[in-house]
Amino acid sequence: MAAINYVQASEFEALIAEKTLTVVDFTASWCGPCKLVAPLMEQLAKDYEGRITVVKVDIDQDKSLAKQFEVRSIPAVLMFLGADRLATLVGVKPYPEFTALVEQHLAS
């Protein structure tokens, strides 16, 4: 199963420079709704292993990325292709909403 790693600002630029579809889950340990999104991100990483990269950003550990991408509410899931932000989903969403966006951006 694909592991979901936490990234910090210092690693983020190198990550998105890879030009693959990257899903970034902005989360915090104290965030109840974030705990509902976490298993969805794990499933997404498993279902699309080798095709996309799924990472987490703990906003308590690295506020700079949240500020850079204007994340004001969590849970927030952002999708990037290289440095281009393709989508932002805020709040708890059903799994098919995540997969539909992934499929859309993998096809384009």
What is the pLDDT confidence band of residue 108, given thresholds at 50, 70 and 90?
Answer: confident
What is the pLDDT confidence band of residue 10, given thresholds at 50, 70 and 90?
Answer: confident
Amino acid letter, 19:
K
- C-alpha 85/C-alpha 72 separation (Å) is 16
pLDDT of residue 62: 86
CATH number at residue 84: 3.40.30.10
| Choice among 34, 59, 65, 79 that is catalytic | 34
Q: Tokens 């204007």, residue?
A: 70
Tell me how many domains the chain contains.
Answer: 1
Structural domain containing residue 91: 5-107
Q: Is the bond preceding 94 in cis, omega lying within 30 degrees of 0? A: no
Check if the beta carbon of residue 21 is closer than 8 Å to that of residue 102: yes
pLDDT in tens, 38-51: 999 999 999 999 99
pLDDT in tens, 51-74: 999 999 999 998 999 999 999 999
- C-alpha 102/C-alpha 84 separation (Å) is 14
Annotation marks residue 88 as catalytic: no
Does residue 3 carry a pLDDT above 70? no
pLDDT of residue 50: 92
Annotation marks residue 31 as catalytic: yes
Q: Tokens 């990037």, residue?
A: 80
pTM above 0.85, yes or no: yes
| Choice among 24, 31, 41, 55 that is catalytic | 31
